[in-house]
Amino acid sequence: LLFFNEIYKKILNVHGVIMEFGVYWGRDLALLQNLRGLYEPSNFTRKIIGFDTFEGIKGFDNEKDGLKGYNGDFATTKDYEIYLEKILEYHEKECYLPHIKKFKLIKGDVRETLPKYLEENPETIIAFAYFDMDIYDPTKIVLENIKSHLVKGSIIVFDEINYDRFPGETTAVKEVFGLNNIKLQRIAHEPVPSYFIFGD
């Protein structure tokens, strides 16, 4: 909670949507909805978009990701995305401007669904991207796809960076941005999640 609160305050003056890659049970999406309702209730352009297979990890690579996971890890229960949609709809109804839908859940392999979304929504600016996919291939492909949709001040958060259980996330960041080119920062409340501000 404290981590997301600190990050959210940093994007208040940055235009754009919030994207979470790796939604799982949707706890963080609901929290982000509530933070939007608290800090900028009338900002209907601050859409929150969640991407997940809801069937677990896809694209696991033993060479890049180590031998500590498998395709299908972190799957939710069957049709969970339908239930999650109802939860997020409820949260939205409790906030200002409930008649305007300000969230979207996108089910599928993000390596396919994100390029399609960005092609269909070319106006998209990303203020905050949260990476919780754990592994190399989808993380790298998403980073490559969102790069041209970032602005100076956009915040990119990684949930497993510098974590030996999931080396692929760090490798993807290294290959797309270069670790020497970003100022990677932590917030004291969490041991692993870290972020950088694009253009900083």
pTM of the model: 0.94
Query: What percentage of residues in the chain have a pLDDT greater than 70?
Result: 98
Whether 93 shows a pLDDT value over 80: the answer reads yes
The model's confidence at residue 72, banded by pLDDT at 50, 70 and 90, is confident
27 DSSP 8-state letter: H
Task: State the angle between helix axes of 2-10 and 27-39 in degrees (0 to 180), rounded to the nearest 10.
Answer: 50
Tell me what pLDDT residue 67 has: 65
| C-alpha closest to that of 108 among 64, 160, 150, 49 | 49
Q: Which domains are present in the chain?
A: 23-110+128-166+178-193 (3.40.50.150)
182: number of Cβ within 10 Å:
18
